[in-house]
Structure 1
Amino acid sequence: MSTSPTTRNMHEDDLLEDFNSREISLDGVSKVVHVAGTGPAVIVMTEMPGISPHVARFSRWVRDAGFTVYMPSLFGRDGAVVTADEGVAVFKRACVSAEFRAFAAAGPASSPVTLWLRALAKLAHAECGGPGIGAIGMCFTGNFALSMMLESSVLAPVVSQPSLPFDDTSATGLPSDELLAVRQRLEREDLTVLAYRFEGDQICKAERFAAFSAALGERFVIRVLPDSAASQDTTPFFQRYVKTPHSVVTAHLIDEAGQPTIAARDEILDFFKHRLVPRNA
């Protein structure tokens, strides 16, 4: 029997022993994807600097809520609690990688990795069935869940503290034609996007959410948590480089009943259930 997400030590490397690590090739690109659970699919995209114990804990909560989690390895060492120096090295490599567009000047298109993630969404839906799939992006991958909506199987997108592009805090990181296509789909299919940030987050500022709201309208549903709701018990990378509350359901989550971050987690799980679990299930 796997260990409860709550009883694991977030300061120790996570072996991910309760996930099935698969190498999945799509569109000529292969990536390791950690898969666990049964039920409709949810793709959990890691924050920087990789699949930490905090990210794995969130994936286990999704799994235990009745879903099949697909957690792709996009950067960093899977399951590791990295040092501050290793974390910043991972960050720098991702910023210059051809897969990611970390800066506004990188071009008028979404990060190329989102094409692979859309293909993963289509595969996950075929494997798991149900009305469609969910997707959550965090930090570096935050806005990817929106780009993935160009794949019709994605019905439950969650955007958590989207950080890109780094050099323009009022930009969305998505080209205008993608945003228009997403807005049209939200309205056509009566869908919504859940979006989360901490009030004082200096990486994902209020103007970024304002830009998303202007592009997507009231179907971009914003949740802003007070800074006092953020955990101070973070790992070395966060202690050195993330100076304000940032990671809503992972590194800055306080795993105690009644905490705003737990309420956010529960709202996300309920959102996935509402969109992905058949009404007669």
Structure 2
Amino acid sequence: MSLLAEWTRGHHAADGFEFPVYERGEGPGIIVIHESPGLTPEVIAFGDELVAEGFTVVLPHLFGSSHAPPRTWEAARVVPRLCVTREFTIFATGRTAPLAGWLRSLARRVFANAGGPGVGAIGMCVTGGFALAMMVDPVVVAPVVAQPATPLPIGPARAADVNLSPSDLAVVRDRAAGGCSVLGVRYRHDWITGTRFETLRTQLGDGFISVELDGYGHSTLTDHRHPVAIARVMSFFRERLLTDV
């Protein structure tokens, strides 16, 4: 049986893009944006955990397979496509990924349906910076950046870049100063995250909450999940979205 059997499948179209989305649960909404190589069992299991915590969870399916265990060759097939696709900015600095508008539209839809104080968003790896891009829209009140990996850290400029245009970064900075904190999680020695956490500390100050784990792992919430990361993300969403807690 499919791991998504209990999830409702739909589509969302906006800004010239259309992707499948899976939804499950009740309560305030959280959008979980999967990492490479796709919507894996580990990502779905994390979504199920959020559902059990009392949230409406939406899983966009942006690339790769869905609900199938990743094969050793799948990342080798998916990553080159991400390098040339128009939805992502794998190498460019100072730019917001074109997919940001679609994700903001999805957040508005989720908020309209689920209610609550706003929407949570979590990006992982190649989608890590998307949660920052989404918080340009005020409906996103609980952004989580998990092991952000784009642009690929080839050289110091890319390593420090947070995948935002200057104007979007200014909005993120203002929102953080106004009380919309950003939670970041990574393994301390994960080279692919570059120096982005340092950039976020500089840009957001106390508005950036950093969780840095010992070790050389990568996927903090899925393949290399760490109990500290899971607990901190869960408590962040509860604090920001469950107003009666």
Q: TM-score range by the shorter chain?
A: over 0.9
Counterpart of 2:202 in 1: which secondary structure? Answer: helix
Query: Which residue number in structure 2 is paired with residue 104 of structure 1?
Result: 92
Is 1:173 the counterpart of 2:163 in the alignment?
yes
Q: Which of the residues 235, 238, 241 maps onto 1:273? A: 238
Query: Which residue number in structure 1 is paired with residue 132 of structure 2?
Result: 146
Query: Which residue number in structure 1 is paired with residue 205 of structure 2?
Result: 217
Amino acid in the other structure paired with 1:55: V
How far did residue 102 of structure 1 move? 0.4
Is 1:187 the counterpart of 2:166 in the alignment?
no
Query: Which residue number in structure 1 is paired with residue 62 of structure 2?
Result: 74
Counterpart of 1:70 in 2: which secondary structure? Answer: strand
Amino acid in the other structure paired with 2:53: A
Cα separation, 2, equivalents of 1:92 and 1:77 = 15
Counterpart of 1:245 in 2: which secondary structure? Answer: coil
Amino acid in the other structure paired with 2:115: G
Q: Deviations over 1:27-53 (max 9, x none)?
A: 443210010100000000001111111
Whose radius of gyration is greater, 1 or 2? 1
Residue correspondence of structure 1 range 85-124 to structure 2 within 5 A: 85-104=73-92, 108-124=94-110
Is 1:252 the counterpart of 2:219 in the alignment?
no
Q: Deviations over 1:59-93 (max 9, x none)?
A: 11111100000000011011122322222111111
Residue correspondence of structure 1 range 27-106 to structure 2 within 5 A: 27-104=15-92
Cα separation, 2, equivalents of 1:69 and 1:125 = 11
Cα separation, 2, equivalents of 1:252 and 1:32 = 26
How far did residue 160 of structure 1 move? 0.4
How far did residue 115 of structure 1 move? 0.7
Counterpart of 2:19 in 1: which secondary structure? Answer: strand
- Preserved contact between residue 142 and residue 241 of structure 2 (Cα < 8 Å): yes
What is the CA RMSD across the aligned residues, in angstroms?
1.5
Instruction: Give the share of equivalent positions with the same residue, in percent.
Output: 38
Q: Which runs of 5+ in 1 are unaligned?
A: 1-12, 228-243, 254-260
Query: Which residue number in structure 1 is paired with residue 143 of structure 2?
Result: 157
Q: Which runs of 5+ in 2 are unaligned?
A: none
Q: Deviations over 1:123-164 (max 9, x none)?
A: 000000111010000001001000101111000000000000
Cα separation, 2, equivalents of 1:208 and 1:86 = 27
- Preserved contact between residue 104 and residue 171 of structure 1 (Cα < 8 Å): no
Amino acid in the other structure paired with 2:188: E
Cα separation, 1, equivalents of 2:185 and 2:112 = 29
Cα separation, 1, equivalents of 2:171 and 2:232 = 26
- Preserved contact between residue 148 and residue 154 of structure 1 (Cα < 8 Å): yes
Query: Which residue number in structure 2 is paired with residue 201 of structure 1?
Result: 190
Normalising by the residue count of structure 1, what TM-score does the alignment of the two structures yield? 0.82
Query: Which residue number in structure 1 is paired with residue 228 of structure 2?
Result: 263
Cα separation, 1, equivalents of 2:110 and 2:50 = 15
- Preserved contact between residue 32 and residue 122 of structure 2 (Cα < 8 Å): yes
Cα separation, 2, equivalents of 1:75 and 1:186 = 30
How far did residue 272 of structure 1 move? 0.9
Cα separation, 2, equivalents of 1:217 and 1:175 = 19
How far did residue 15 of structure 1 move? 3.1
